[in-house]
């Protein structure tokens, strides 16, 4: 069984994001970048399935500029077998990315596509669902447990009311939630080995996909600073402030 995992290069989650002075974008100058945390969980799950003997090959793919090769090398150091970069300009919308990933999945004849449920930069939570729709594959989102047997995936997913278990036939698309696993750290020997693992570069034209964004960025603004809390002397004063100042009750 072949597993395809998508990964995305994003601002490291420990970094405080700054907005450019002209509000046109997030300032990336000298900012530490890393693999999207949900994608890291997806890579870990694919590698674990290979270690169990369920999968025979793990392929990672990323869509973006040459800088995303660093993220792909990280995934290779974590245990993936080979990598594919689809070279495009950064900032494509979710549909364009989904079209490219779906084409790669078809060309690779992947039995299972594992993706992070969302990226922490755009926070859209929609690319995985779009890939499943384009491929006409069954999907299971927000996975907290994945078991593969008898040509199907038993996926436990987190929903508002608790846990839901789905049985989906392969090939399929699964998106990962935080509690699926704890990603490993890449060891130095594996980091060195990753430099020799194959990394292919393709273009949208190679895949026969036309890309273009239907989404335009109007402006980026930082969230308003939170005001300090205050103490009130009575319930009546609290209700008055909630009603007339915060305007959260009527």
DSSP alpha helix (H) spans, 28-155:
37-51, 69-77, 94-108, 127-135
**Hey, how many other C-beta atoms are within 10 angstroms of the C-beta on 47?**
22
Exposure of 1 by Cβ count < 10 A (0-12 exposed, 13-18 middle, 19+ buried)?
A: middle
pLDDT of residue 73 exceeding 80, the answer is yes
pLDDT of residue 135 exceeding 90, the answer is yes
Domain count, the chain: 1
- 81-92 tens-digit pLDDT: 999 999 998 778
- 182-214 tens-digit pLDDT: 999 999 999 999 999 999 999 999 999 988 778
Say how far apart CA 45 and CA 5 lie, in whole Å: 10
pLDDT for the residue 219: 87
pLDDT for the residue 226: 81
Average pLDDT of the segment spanning 51-70:
94
pLDDT for the residue 24: 84
Predicted TM-score of the model (pTM): 0.85
pLDDT for the residue 216: 82
pLDDT for the residue 203: 94
Residue 234 lies in a domain: no
Residue 16 lies in a domain: yes
Q: Which of 57, 55, 64, 60 is nearest to 97 (CA)?
A: 64
pLDDT of residue 250 exceeding 80, the answer is no
- Specify the CATH number for the domain of residue 179: 3.40.50.620
Q: Which domain holds residue 189?
A: 2-218
**Hey, how many other C-beta atoms are within 10 angstroms of the C-beta on 207?**
18
Residue 209 lies in a domain: yes
pLDDT of residue 101 exceeding 90, the answer is yes
User: Do residues 114 and 177 make contact, with C-beta atoms less than 8 angstroms apart?
Assistant: no
φ, ψ for residue 11 (rounded to 5)? -65, 135
211's tokens: 């890309």
Residue 248 lies in a domain: no
On average, the pLDDT of the chain sits at 92
Residue 118 lies in a domain: yes
pLDDT for the residue 55: 93
- Residue written as token pair 């970069």: 85
Residue 226 lies in a domain: no
Average pLDDT of the segment spanning 153-160:
91
The confidence band for 72, taking pLDDT boundaries of 50, 70 and 90, is: very high
pLDDT for the residue 204: 94
pLDDT for the residue 47: 96
Residue 223 lies in a domain: no
Residue 225 lies in a domain: no
């Amino acid at each position: 069984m072949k597993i395809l995992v998508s990964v995305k290069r994003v601002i490291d989650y420990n970094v405080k994001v700054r907005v450019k002075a002209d509000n046109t974008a997030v300032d990336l100058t000298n900012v530490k970048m890393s693999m999207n945390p949900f994608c890291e969980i997806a890579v870990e799950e694919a590698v674990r399935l290979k270690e169990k003997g369920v999968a025979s090959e793990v392929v990672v793919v990323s869509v973006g500029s040459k800088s995303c090769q660093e993220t792909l090398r990280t995934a290779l150091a974590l245990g993936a077998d080979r990598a594919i970069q689809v070279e495009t300009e950064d900032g494509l919308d979710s549909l364009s990315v989904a079209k490219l990933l779906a084409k790669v999945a078809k060309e690779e004849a992947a039995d299972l596509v594992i993706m992070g449920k969302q990226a922490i930069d755009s926070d859209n939570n929609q690319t995985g669902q779009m890939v499943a729709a384009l491929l006409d594959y069954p999907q299971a989102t927000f996975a907290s447990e994945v078991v593969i047997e008898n040509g199907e995936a038993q996926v436990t997913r987190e929903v508002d009311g608790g846990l839901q278990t789905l049985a989906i036939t392969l090939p399929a698309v699964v998106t990962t939630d935080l509690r699926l696993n704890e990603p490993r750290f890449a060891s130095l020997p594996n980091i060195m080995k990753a430099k020799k693992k194959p990394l292919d570069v393709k273009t949208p034209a190679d895949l026969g996909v036309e890309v273009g964004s239907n989404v335009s960025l109007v402006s980026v603004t930082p969230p308003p600073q939170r005001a300090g809390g205050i103490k009130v002397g009575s319930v009546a004063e609290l209700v008055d402030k909630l009603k007339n100042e915060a305007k959260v009750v009527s």
